[in-house]
Amino acid sequence: MEFRIGELAERVGGKVVGDAERTVRGVATLARATPDDLSFVTNPRYRSAAESSRAAALLIAPGSGIEFANRIEVDHPYVALAEILELFHPPTRPRPGIAPNAWVAESAKLGRDVSIAPFATIDEDAELGDGVVVGAGAVVGAGSRVGASSELRPGVVLYAGTEVGERCILHSGVVLGGDGYGFATHEGKHRKVPQIGRVVVGDDVEIGANTTVDRAAFDETRIGSGSKIDNLVMVAHGVRLGDDCLLAGQAGIAGSTRVGDRVTFAGQAGAAGHLEIGSNTVVAAKTAVFKDVPPASFVAGIPATDHKEWKRTQVALKRLPELVRELRELRGRVAELERALSERTDPDDR
């Protein structure tokens, strides 16, 4: 497969600087690109790596100041990169068909061109839309529905009654619909509260390996369309996650918390239960959100506060041992002043 640089520029709405007729056969990082490769600069810190790259051409934002003979200048080089990578690496899907060693219930409804790998289980009344791919050993529980073109990688488990939208990707080990963590404690004993809700995942959602989303106690745990969830994330029962959210690795959201649209949780961040987290909020890595957060916030820390305030506190905190010393010294000086003043005074009183 090869493309002319001009052709790629046109595809991504970019402008060629240099030789539009030059062809490229692949995409590679700055360091590894050969003269047959297109490369890219999505971060200005890689300037010197860019200028010494052997790539045929660079995908780059206009006005970057980086000198390179052939460039495709485009406003959003990372988006353009995604598009060009798809040209060179179109998503591959296994051939449609049901492996003879899969188990599909007679009552299951399968769309056209479904692919079901060995040892997958499609339970009673489950429904798979057109083009759905179910990997080896994956389990689609009774009555679950998976929308068209969605993929369940090997080992995914959907508990009974789970709904997944279209064009979703669920990576290996994802578990959707396990019982929420609900117990009524009385005299030190924990009694299970039946979890009679379910999990509903929108369209275009991607969920990373070994992430878990629990079914609601009542109603639904919801993952909004376009949201992307990383590996080993925990979404508890009754959480409502809006559209186009990002939950990075090992983040966790406790029960019944409602998260708006386009909210980002960075790695290992967490939120307590029964909160409202407004749209367009960013929760920094390792943060613990214990209170409601208004829209468009940027919070950090344990407990979470405004990120700027957190930074100020961190700066002050670094000075804290010094402050302790300064305060002690100052107390000495004040005591000395008090002594001096009282001595000065006493003679007058005589």
* Footprint on residues 204-223 left by its own copies (CB under 8 A): 206, 208-210, 212, 214, 218-219
Binding mask 232-271 for its own copies (x = CB under 8 A): x-x-x-------x-x-xxx-x-x------xx----xx-x-
Site for its own copies in 315-334 (CB under 8 A): 315-321, 323-324, 326-327, 330-331, 333-334
Question: Which of residues 7 and 83 has its CB atom nearest to its own copies in the complex?
Answer: 83
Work out the end-to-end distance of the chain between its first and last CA atoms, rounded to an integer number of angstroms.
104
Phi-psi region at 267: left, alpha or beta (left = phi > 0; alpha = psi -120 to 50): beta
Q: Out of 171, 186, 237, 274, which one is annotated catalytic?
A: 237
Q: Is 178 in the site for its own copies (CB under 8 A)?
A: yes
* 96, amino acid identity: P
Q: Is 112 in the site for its own copies (CB under 8 A)?
A: no
Q: Is 161 in the site for its own copies (CB under 8 A)?
A: no
Among 23, 34, 64, 305, binds its own copies (CB under 8 A): 305
Assess whether 76 carries a catalytic annotation: no
Q: Is 290 in the site for its own copies (CB under 8 A)?
A: yes
Question: Which of residues 68 and 119 has its CB atom nearest to its own copies in the complex?
Answer: 119
User: Could you give the CA distance from residue 289 to residue 282 in angstroms, rounded to a whole number?
Assistant: 11
Q: Which stretch binds its own copies (CB under 8 A): 21-29, 55-63, 65-73, 106-114?
A: 21-29
Among 44, 196, 291, 296, binds its own copies (CB under 8 A): 196
Determine contact, residues 74/80, Cβ cutoff 8 Å.
Answer: yes
Q: Is 125 in the site for its own copies (CB under 8 A)?
A: no
User: Could you give the CA distance from residue 261 to residue 309 in angstroms, rounded to a whole number?
Assistant: 24
Q: Indicate the length of the chain as a whole number.
A: 350
Determine contact, residues 11/27, Cβ cutoff 8 Å.
Answer: no
Which stretch of DSSP H or E encloses residue 189? strand 189-192
Write b or e for each residue in 222-232: b if 16 or more Cβ atoms lie within 10 A of its Cβ, otherwise e.
bbbbbbbbbbb
State the nearest-atom distance from the C-beta of 14 to its own copies, in Å. Answer: 14
Determine contact, residues 239/260, Cβ cutoff 8 Å.
Answer: no
State the nearest-atom distance from the C-beta of 21 to its own copies, in Å. Answer: 26
User: Could you give the CA distance from residue 18 to residue 220 in angstroms, rounded to a whole number?
Assistant: 55
Question: Which of residues 129 and 226 has its CB atom nearest to its own copies in the complex?
Answer: 226
Strand partners, 314: none
Site for its own copies in 41-70 (CB under 8 A): none
User: Could you give the CA distance from residue 28 to residue 41 in angstroms, rounded to a whole number?
Assistant: 11
Among 4, 22, 193, 278, binds its own copies (CB under 8 A): 193
Return the active site residues: 237
